[in-house]
Amino acid sequence: MKFIKPIAFILLTAILVSWTKLTPIKVYMIGDSTMANKSPGVYPETGWGQVFKEYFTGDVTIDNRAQNGRSTKSFINEKRWDDVMSTLQAGDYVIIEFGHNDEKVEKPNTGTTIDEFKANLLKFVTDARGKGATPILMTPVTRRSFKDGVLTNSHGLYPDAVRDVATKNNVAFVDMLQKSEKLVKAMGEAPSQSLWNWADSGVYKGFPKGVKDNTHFNPTGAHKMAELAVEGLKELKLPLTAYLKP
């Protein structure tokens, strides 16, 4: 009889832990084409957000709202952020990764100045927190932009802007640019082509003339980027990591 109470306590603790881990949560993703879900018609082009759900248990719903060609400005002006806010709830997460299109200042409906970019990122953060959700800022992933054998940063000061907003506002942050650059540099210029959407003519219906795309990923590259994001989440030690598959 002496062991009944301790055993009962252990069982109760195990049940409570189990309940905690099984509480369904939702992860929203907002960003551009490098993250977006792709239609079958453009296969093998694949956004890393498209495969992100494969790294989580069934208790996590990944709601990927990233869209091709979007910047922080166009995502807000097209009311896409309003749509996220209309269903965002306390306990949810919002992964925010922009920069590829904000830098296109020659496009007035898309490009932003650095100050505008920071203000828009802060809006996402503040609005999400106001709902009781957890925002996670990420720098844009690297392009395969080699010059004379050296990988270069094609995003200018926009990654630094993300870092600045994250630091000054104590926002969970994953430096996807740094992580993806490290990966690509280690692979080298020619081998890293295997991560991007390159194909000869006649191989894929969506690209009958072939494709040489150093911005968007194929399935292999999308998975590599998703793995880097998962690595970053683990480093942050957020409660979300309890839902990652072993």
Q: Domain map of the chain by residue range?
A: 24-243
3-state secondary structure of 120: helix
pLDDT at 22: 54
3-state secondary structure of 43: coil
Spatial separation of the C-alpha atoms in residues 69 and 61, rounded to whole Å: 24
What is the full DSSP assignment across 160-202?
Answer: HHHHHHHHHTT-EEE-HHHHHHHHHHHH-HHHHGGGEEEE-TT
Burial class (CB in 10 A: 0-12, 13-18, 19+), 74: buried
Across the chain, what does the average pLDDT equal?
A: 92
Nearest Cα residue to 48 out of 225, 192, 190:
225
For residue 188, is pLDDT > 60? yes
pLDDT at 34: 98
Beta carbons within 8 Å of 73's beta carbon, 6+ residues apart: 102, 109, 110, 111, 112, 116, 120
Q: Which tens digits make up the pLDDT trace of 73-83?
A: 999 999 999 99
Spatial separation of the C-alpha atoms in residues 246 and 228, rounded to whole Å: 16
- CATH superfamily assigned to domain 24-243: SGNH hydrolase (3.40.50.1110)
For residue 203, is pLDDT > 50? yes
Q: Which tens digits make up the pLDDT trace of 6-16?
A: 454 444 444 44
- In the structure, what pLDDT confidence band is assigned to residue 2 with cuts at 50, 70 and 90? very low
The pTM assigned to this predicted structure is 0.89
Q: Which residue has the tokens 């494969």?
A: 54
> Contact 55/245 with Cβ under 8 angstroms?
yes
> Contact 137/126 with Cβ under 8 angstroms?
no
- In the structure, what pLDDT confidence band is assigned to residue 23 with cuts at 50, 70 and 90? confident
Cα angle: 156, vertex 157, 163; to 5 degrees: 130
